[in-house]
Amino acid sequence: MRVLVTGASGLLGRTTATALAARGDDVTVLQRRPSGTGCREVLGDVADAVAVEKAARGQEVVLHLAAKVDVVGPLVEYERANVAGTRTVLAAARRAGAGRFVHVSSPSVAHAGRPLVGAPADPADPDRARGHYAATKAAAEQLVLAADSPDLAALAVRPHLVWGPGDTQLVARLVDRARSGRLPLLGPATALIDTTYVSDAADALVAAVDACGPGAHGEPLVVSGGEPRPVGEVLERVCRAAGVPPPRRRLPVPLGLGAGTVVDALWAATGRRDQPPLTRFLVEQLSTAHWFDQRRTRALLGWTPAVGLEEGFARLGSWYADGCPAV
């Protein structure tokens, strides 16, 4: 099968592209810098129609992961990468005659800050999503699902809190904050959260590439490991695996929300690009439950996670102990 993977320089995109190639698919990858996958590469931005057209030519399936994933930066940058970029990739997929489009989204597109307890994959809502990333990913998901048709089966997959060795988004940021003493426990830190080990998330995306079609299309599916744990436990296990002190300082949730709101406003007003010490989104993520009903996802994709939390933390600890080699 001829598959285009966008965003293969990121951990999940690289792992998925490699898995597709390893099973014999003809994989092309599109991103702004070399991916190290060994696949045919087209370097470019997803909002660049010429580069996207070149990458999409002759493809049967498009797996779209490329996105701006951050907590800082003006809205226009998120809109260009996440909304305009998705629109450009969709248009190229149609012109190329691709029959399947798998869009990698995020559970944050349907998270309005309230606890999510065994939640289904509710519809994406740009107006209620928290922050530029979530709002623009929600708008992008709506574009993709609206494009679902007999000629182009479209499916949105939302991996939840992907982590593992080499992760620069979740693990590295938690570890950096813990090392500098800037990772508080919000309130009792007992809210249950679910996560997804990176190879499990990649396997789910491979399964989505196969399943996307008459039986699975036109809807979002949340992917997670299915092992909810208290947020305090997850933070402690990540820190111990990395060899840094786990968080001990507690911050009342109302105080954290207030401080995060002030910091968000300050970073927006000054245009700062460094990582803020706290954001309202981070406080909400660390103080509210968010775990999801996986029954429909697993039934439609025919997928179950293979790496449990214990094995995942053991692998993460071994990676740090080996000096964090490239993955």
**Active-site residue (options: 78, 133, 197, 320):** 133
d(CA 255, CA 235) in angstroms, rounded, equals 20
133 has catalytic annotation = yes
d(CA 26, CA 31) in angstroms, rounded, equals 17
Structure tokens at 194: 């679910």
Active site residues: 133
